[in-house]
Amino acid sequence: MKEREKPVHGDDNPKPREVKRRLKSTKRISRRKRLEFEEVELPLQVAIIGGGVAGMEAASVLTEHRCPVILFEARPELGVNVKNKYKIFPDFSDAGRLVETMTKAMDHPLITVNKDTEIVEIIREPDAYTLLDNKGVPHTVPAVLLASGYEPFDAKRKEELGFGIYEGVINSLQLEDMLREHKVLNSLGEDPRRIVFLQCVGSRDEKVGNHYCSKICCITAVKQAIEVKRQLPDTEVYVFYMDLRLWGQGYEELYREAQEQYSVRFVRGRISEAASTFDGRVQIKSEDTLLGQPLKMVTDLLVLMIGMEASPGTQKLGKTCGLEGPYGFVRSKSPHLEDNLSDKPGFFLAGTCKRPMHIAEAVNDGRAAALEIIKYLRK
Amino acid sequence: MSSNFHPFVLPFTIGTLALFSVLILKYNKWISKFDRQQKKLIRRNLFTGKLIPAVWEMINEGLFHKKVSRYNRRLGYMHRSIALGWFLLISVGFVETVFHFQGRGHAPWIGVFFRFFVRDNQTLSAWIFAQIMDLLLLYILSGVTMAVFKSIFSKTVGMRKTTRLKLFDTSLRYSLWSIFPLRLLSESATAALADNGGFLTQSLGNLMGERFAGVVELPLWTLYSIALGLFLCLLPFSRFSHIFTELMLIYFRKMGLREREKPTGFTRFELSACSRCGICIDNCPLDSELNITDIQPVYLIRDIRNRMPHRNATENCLMCNRCESDCPVGIQISEIRRQERDKKKLDTHDNYGYIEDVQSFNAIGRVIYFGGCMSHLTPGITESMKKIFDTVGQKYWMMDEERTICCGRPLLQQGFFNQAAELRRKNTQLIMESRSKTLVTSCPICYQSFRKEYNLPIKVVHHTEYIVTMLRLGKLRLNRSELRLAYHDPCELGRGCGIYDEPREVLSALGQLLKLEQEYKNSLCCGYNLGNTVLELDQQLKVRDASLRNLTDSHPDVIATACPLCKKAFQHSTTQPIKDVAELVVENLR
């Protein structure tokens, strides 16, 4: 201890200011050393695969408990999936700011962030895991947290809806960009007279093999419809749905608000096909199943509410670790008390690599996983 | 024993007489059930030059079994040895008899039991005949041995599975198999006593010894005659009726007869020409992927012949025609299955009034472009075709752009004949009123319908054919790259219409076409064929996955196809790019 309080640089007669500065730096160093060697009860490093909101939240909780973390993110930035959003439901708060706050917390001495780094292989060793990244560097750690997340459904797989073929057909992420820029325009660059949202694209769809509900699209469409109406009060907005699932706190109220205050029209029916009109708009064919009538409608923009699928990383790592669950997601030990655990001791799961989740849920799940890891490492 | 008669020849003689009288009766009945058009064709073509190719094919198929050999050489040998061997045995036997009696009268059964009746013949010619006959018998016996093995281990003749037979067929098969060993034994016994055998029978006879041969000779010949008689007697009622019916069928087909919408006498000939070889079982994706083993053509035909087809067998079929492509008899099985699906009695309360007000368009000098219902679900294809028309400067009228009328084939495949006819009538009217000369379609289902079911006086082409023509004329120019392409043959386009090379020619002009394990007529159905409305989705997906595996095995960059339905099927399951030929053309335009 004493030794450490000595000045680091050996200068026999320092000036008072210099002494003060050195003392300060010594203090800083000593604090960090203390963190590393004295107070730290968990000197073992935890690897987190995936730098989304779940992974970042887990990292900050782990460091609060003095546990060093090495974080891998395949993309050049952290928290991209959330950052791509504009405002998030139900309170219309700023998604960018949320990610900013979380990313700042990653600037921590105990956290090593490896961006552009993909884990390609996971080797299980006695009481440890060796992760091999795409640069061929091995990392051996006692505990791993898989938070490799989801990927938005590629609407090109539903070719009948014309995504990627007609300019007027966009997905919900593209609309989010337009909303952020305050430039919701049709394919000719004009203000749209009508916008049609279509729910359940790539979710609850036997044909594409996704039987599950992505659970965030209903409320997202309600939120986006309101935002569109706020930016373009004269635009007609329709939402085509199978059934609306507004399960969260404040969601139902938002749905009511959309109808009462913003005159958003909700039509129960699927859109069977889209075609372009001579003036660059989109013609849709559908059925209003409450009226029992087929209908055709021309719209400036057709917004496809794309669901969540397991990301390629999730699918690959799930397979290599033998944790494949349904639809390429990974499987936790049990959905109730051991949802952050896997069959393998020391291998933990968090976030949307398990199933579709909304942001708060993923953040909470990351936090819960961190606590499970600490419990495991203390043993 | 030089007399010309012995009671043991009776079973054979009666059997032969019964065989031919039954066959004549049956064929007469069936021919009388031909419909008017079929009868007209027969009257017109009965004694024309078509007889020669018909006879040629009869020889090739009836005796040499060329198609079976092409499918599998060992299986071909088995069939050939029995058919050709037996035919030669009868013919040479006949020649031998005629030669021996030198024009003197003899009883008709002598040829079959020659060794028994003509014993004291030690001339050189008799010796030569004996050797030839033994050689032929050996040839047949080798085939019979294979057949016995096949019934136990189907793989010995190169088949995955063999047909499951009913008791009647099985017993008849045993009587067929026993004919030739019995002949061998009885001739050997006679050879032991009379020294008139060839290399095989004489040596076997010598082994028997005179005393033993004396005891067993007559019982053996009697058994031989009974086996023959039994087989011949029951032949017209069994699957072995194919031996004669196939020859008739070949002849009728050469005269231009085909299956009609309703079953006719021709259908009876086709049903009766099935030998239950089981090649269709090996080719059926429902068997290989889903383990559904009771709906294959061989069983359906058997059930129809027995007049008890069950609903499942007629409905549960993809109509991918993979069975038909390898059928050695060339039975039009899908047409027969469709006849059985007839739902005319089902009142569906259809109302086609809404199609009446669809208007035609004056399309003189334009081609008609018919996308088809399925292409409406794959707008990438229709958009690409529009771009191609614009590029080559071809004016077009997209007939089903706004108001779509189905070509009718999906209904037809399900047995809704009247409803399909209604749609065909309206579409024909629209096409005729447009006064266009060419119809281009993107959907192989519509293509097959327009070509085969419509009887249109204008040219009907699939878009791959159209693109090939434009490439050859130099109106379209493509950039060739190193793109690795796997081409999936759609059932309706390939096996249905014989369009195999056109899409390949286009693809070879823009990339590198990979060789697949199952392609051309062996291509695997994508599972989405509209022929089947019974399969559950997960079963369909299993069929699709097998087809997709075949395509991805060679690791292509892009999977190409020429059918919107196949495209949709694959698109749903993989993120790998699946593109129509037309889309690839537009992407690689120079």
Instruction: Name every chain A residue with its beta carbon within 8 A of the beta carbon of B403.
Output: none
At residue A370, does pLDDT exceed 50? yes
Lowest mean pLDDT among B148-157, B258-267, B487-496: B148-157
Residues of A with Cβ-Cβ distance to B541 under 8 angstroms: 209
Are B211 and B85 found together in one domain?
yes
Averaged pLDDT, B443-466: 94
B377 contacts A273? CB cut-off 8 A: yes
CA distance A370 to chain B (A): 34
B404 — contact with chain A (CB < 8 Å)? no
Regarding whether B80 and B66 lie in a shared domain, the answer is yes
Considering only CB atoms, which chain A residues are within 8 Å of B573?
209
If phi over 0 gives left and psi between -120 and 50 gives alpha, with beta otherwise, what is residue B435? left
Chain B residues 522-541 with CB within 8 Å of chain A: 537, 541
Provide the pLDDT confidence category of residue B3 given band limits of 50, 70 and 90: low
pLDDT at B157: 60
| Domain assignment present for B449 | yes
Residue A17: pLDDT band with limits 50, 70, 90: low
Give the pLDDT of residue B347: 72
Q: Is A37 exposed, middle or buried (0-12, 13-18, 19+ CB in 10 A)?
A: exposed
- Using the predicted structure, report yes or no on whether residue A29 has a pLDDT greater than 50: no
What is the pLDDT at residue B566? 94
pLDDT tens per residue, range A118-151: 999 999 988 899 999 989 899 999 999 999 999 9
Which of B319, B340, B361 is where one domain is finished?
B340
**How many cross-chain Cβ pairs, A to B, lie less than 8 Å apart?**
40
Mean predicted confidence (pLDDT) in B243-249: 90
Question: Testing the interface with B: which of A157, A159, A272, A298 to mutate, by most B Cβ within 10 A?
Answer: A159
Is the CB of residue B235 less than 8 Å away from at least one CB of chain A? no
pLDDT band at A31 (very low <50, low <70, confident <90, very high): low
Question: What confidence score (pLDDT) does residue A34 get?
Answer: 46
Confidence band, pLDDT 50/70/90 cuts, at residue A41: very low
Mean pLDDT in residue range A339-349: 94
Please tell me which residue of chain A has the smallest CA distance to B576.
A157
* C-alpha to C-alpha distance for A350 and A54, rounded to whole angstroms: 6
Closest Cβ–Cβ partner in B378, B541, B575 for A159: B378
Of B223, B241, B259, which residue constitutes the final position of a domain? B241
Residue B159 has what pLDDT? 66
DSSP per residue over B375-435, as a string? Answer: HHT-HHHHHHHHHHHHHHT--EEETTSSS----SHHHHHTT-HHHHHHHHHHHHHHHHHHT
**For the domain that residue B463 is a member of, what is the CATH number?**
3.40.50.1860
Count of residues making up chain B: 590
| pLDDT at position B374 over 70 | yes
With an 8 Å Cβ cutoff, the interface of chain A facing chain B consists of 154, 156-157, 159-160, 162, 164-166, 206-209, 272-276
Q: Angle at which helices A217-231 and A251-260 pack, to 10 degrees?
A: 40
Cβ–Cβ below 8 Å for B573 and A209:
yes
Residue-wise pLDDT for A54-80, tens only, equals 999 999 999 999 899 999 999 999 999
Kindly report the nearest CA distance between residue B496 and chain A, in angstroms: 26
Residues of A in contact with B586 (CB under 8 A): none
Residue-level pLDDT at A281: 93
Output the pLDDT for position B371.
Answer: 92
- Shortest CB distance from A206 goes to which of B377, B537, B571? B537
Same domain, B261 and B192: no
Cα distances (angstroms) measured from residue A222 to each of A104, A163, A265, B264? 31, 21, 10, 62
**Going from the N-terminus, what domains does chain A have, and what CATH number goes with each?**
2-38 (no CATH), 46-151+309-378 (3.50.50.60), 155-306 (3.50.50.60)
Asked if the Cβ–Cβ distance from B573 to A273 is below 8 Å, we say: no
Q: What pLDDT shows up at residue A36?
A: 47
pLDDT recorded at residue B160: 65
Query: What range does the domain containing B185 cover?
Result: 7-35+47-241
Name the residue with tokens 């060839």: B198
| Subunit contact A157:B575, Cβ cutoff 8 A | yes
Q: Is A22 a residue whose pLDDT tops 80?
A: no
CB contact under 8 A, A159 and B571: yes
Q: Lowest mean pLDDT: which of A20-24, B218-222, B341-345? A: A20-24
Is A275 close to B568, i.e. CB distance below 8 A?
A: no
- B353 versus B233: the higher-pLDDT residue is B233
The answer to whether the CB atoms of A273 and B541 lie below 8 A apart is no
Q: Does B201 lie in the same domain as B85?
A: yes
Considering only A352-361, B525-534, B577-586, which range has the smallest mean pLDDT? Answer: B525-534
- Evaluate if residue A234 carries a pLDDT over 70: yes
Cross-chain residue pair A273–B378, CB shorter than 8 Å? no
Contact predicate B507/B584, CB 8 Å: yes
Q: Do B583 and B434 belong to one domain?
A: no
Shortest distance, CA A157 to any CA of chain B (angstroms): 6
| Nearest-by-Cβ selection for A275 from B379, B380, B572 | B379
pLDDT of residue A43: 59
Helix (H, G, I), strand (E, B) or coil at A350: coil
Q: Which residues pair with B478 in a beta bridge?
A: B589
Gyration radius (Cα) of chain B, Å: 29
pLDDT band at A110 (very low <50, low <70, confident <90, very high): very high
With respect to residue B347, please indicate whether it lies within any of the assigned structural domains.
Answer: no
Token readout for A287 is 């059925």
A41 or A198, which is more confident? A198
Are the Cβ atoms of A165 and B383 closer than 8 angstroms? Answer: yes
In-domain check, residue B182: yes
Q: Given a cut of 90, is residue A206 above it in pLDDT?
A: no
pLDDT over 70, % of chain B: 98
Q: Are residues B421 and B566 in the same domain?
A: no
- Tell me what pLDDT residue B543 has: 93
Would you call A157 and B380 a contact, using CB atoms and an 8 Å cutoff? no
Whole-number average pLDDT of chain B: 89
Residue A166, min C-alpha distance to chain B (Å): 9
Last residue of a domain, one of B192, B221, B241: B241
The whole-number average pLDDT for the span B432-446 is 94
- Map B442-493 to HEC letters: CCHHHHHHHHHHCCCCCEEEEHHHHHHHHHHCCCCCECCCCCEEEEECCCCC
Residue B90, chain A, CB below 8 Å: the answer is no
Q: Which residues contact A208 (CB under 8 A, 6 or more apart)?
A: A153, A157, A158, A202, B572
Average confidence score pLDDT of chain A: 88
Same domain? For B61 and B181 the reply is yes
**pLDDT on residue B383:** 93
Same domain? B186 vs B251: no
Kindly identify which residue of chain A lies nearest to residue B402, measuring between CA atoms: A275
Q: Of A260, A266, A249, give the one whose Cα is nearest residue A90.
A: A249
DSSP states of A125-149: ETTEEEEEETTS-EEEESEEEE---
Rounded to whole angstroms, the maximal C-alpha distance in chain A is 93
What is the mean predicted confidence (pLDDT) over B36-49? 84
Q: Is B65 contained in some domain? A: yes
Number of domains in chain B: 4
Predicted ipTM of the assembly: 0.76
Residue B346 lies in a domain: no
Nearest chain A alpha carbon to B377: A160
State yes or no: pLDDT of A39 exceeds 70.
no
To probe the interface with A, which of B373, B375, B377 has the most A CB atoms within 10 Å? Answer: B377
Range name among A65-69, B124-128, B177-181 with the lowest pLDDT average: B124-128
What is the rounded average pLDDT of the residues B19-47?
Answer: 89
B583 within domain boundaries = yes
The verdict on a CB contact (< 8 Å) between A160 and B380 is no
- Do both B224 and B99 map to the same domain? yes
B358 and B276, same domain (yes or no):
no
Residues in A closer than 8 angstroms to B376, CB to CB, are 160, 273, 275
Minimal Cβ distance to A165: which of B380, B401, B575 = B380
CB neighbour class for B521 (10 Å; exposed up to 12, middle 13-18, buried from 19): middle
Residue with more model confidence, B162 or B211: B211
Residues B189, B80 share a domain: yes
Query: Residue B310 above 80 pLDDT?
Result: no
Element (H, E) at A199: strand A194-201
Question: Where is A376: in which H helix or E strand?
Answer: helix A359-378
SS3 B238: coil
pLDDT band at A297 (very low <50, low <70, confident <90, very high): very high
Q: What is the pLDDT of residue B344?
A: 79
Residue B41 inside a domain? The answer is no
* B376 reaches A (C-beta below 8 A): yes
One domain, residues B450 and B535: no
pLDDT of residue B116: 86
CB B166 within 8 A of CB B305: no
Residue B1 lies in a domain: no
For residue A5, is pLDDT > 70? no
